Amino acid sequence: MPATRHPEPRMPTTTMRAFAVPPPPGHAWLTLLVLALLPLLILLPLGAVPAVLGSPAVMLGLALPLLLVGLLGLTMRRREVRVGEGRIEVRASFYRKRLAVGELDLGGARIVDLREHTELRPVLKTNGFSLPGFHAGHFRIRRGLEKAFCLISGTGRVLWIPVRDGSHLLLGVERPQELLARLREEA
């Protein structure tokens, strides 16, 4: 009996498309730097820096904020929006949101400027990471303190997408029109 040849298993192809998210503005990075240097900035005017720098416990106390701020800086680099296979995935710093495209109200989605549409600005952080010009995670927006998942770098144009459960997505991608078009293709 001749040996039957089985087709080689194919690796599943992913049709996820990534959309670029701009880097946080310079003043967000400057805020992180000031936070890292804050302990020294407090001790310097007191004239206590030379005396304290000799103590290992104090040195550790000064190093921990630097390490924490360094970690926060690294997480600010984790910014990604991907669409495909009937879903949207958003990675924002420590946070991730996955939704089926069918859960989105794409008919109500708009590209808005948060400087004009202040009712959509995140105002209350519920489980997020925020610096001036950078918002990642779960927030409440000014409009009725409704829930929103945000990935915003800067204060410019964002794609606002209402979700059928009453929450919102606010995504600051470089090409919001292309993202909206891709979401509509997936729907």
- For residues 68 and 146, membership in a common domain is answered with no
60 part of a folded domain: yes
Burial class (CB in 10 A: 0-12, 13-18, 19+), 1: exposed
Residue at a domain's end among 75, 96, 111:
75
- For residues 69 and 88, membership in a common domain is answered with no
Helix/strand/coil for 164: coil
* Cβ–Cβ < 8 Å for 39, 62: yes
**Greater model confidence, 13 or 44:** 44
Q: Cα separation of 171 and 167, whole Å? A: 13
Q: What integer pLDDT is reported at residue 7 of this predicted model?
A: 57
Q: For residue range 25-60, what is the model confidence (pLDDT) as tens digits?
A: 998 989 888 888 777 676 666 555 555 566 676 667
Q: What integer pLDDT is reported at residue 125 of this predicted model?
A: 95
What is residue 154's DSSP assignment?
S
Stated pTM of the model:
0.80
- For residues 85 and 149, membership in a common domain is answered with yes
- For residues 85 and 70, membership in a common domain is answered with no
Give the angle 51-55-57 at the CA atoms, nearest 5°. Answer: 135
- For residues 134 and 55, membership in a common domain is answered with no
Q: Cα separation of 62 and 50, whole Å? A: 13
Q: For residue range 122-179, what is the model confidence (pLDDT) as tens digits?
A: 999 999 999 999 999 999 999 899 999 999 997 678 999 999 999 999 999 999 999 9
12 part of a folded domain: no
Q: What integer pLDDT is reported at residue 135 of this predicted model?
A: 95
- For residues 87 and 70, membership in a common domain is answered with no
Q: What integer pLDDT is reported at residue 11 of this predicted model?
A: 47
Q: What integer pLDDT is reported at residue 84 of this predicted model?
A: 95
Contacts of 6 by beta carbon, 8 Å cutoff, 6+ apart: none
Q: Cα separation of 93 and 88, whole Å? A: 16
- For residues 103 and 132, membership in a common domain is answered with yes
Q: Cα separation of 128 and 138, whole Å? A: 5
Give the angle 83-86-92 at the CA atoms, nearest 5°. Answer: 35
- For residues 85 and 40, membership in a common domain is answered with no
Domain carrying residue 144: 79-186
Q: What integer pLDDT is reported at residue 56 of this predicted model?
A: 72
Residue 64: its H or E element:
helix 56-75
User: Considering its fold, how many domains does the chain have in total?
Assistant: 2
Q: What integer pLDDT is reported at residue 4 of this predicted model?
A: 56
- For residues 140 and 181, membership in a common domain is answered with yes
Average pLDDT over residues 61-77: 83
Q: For residue range 73-114, what is the model confidence (pLDDT) as tens digits?
A: 899 999 999 999 999 999 999 999 999 999 999 999 999 999
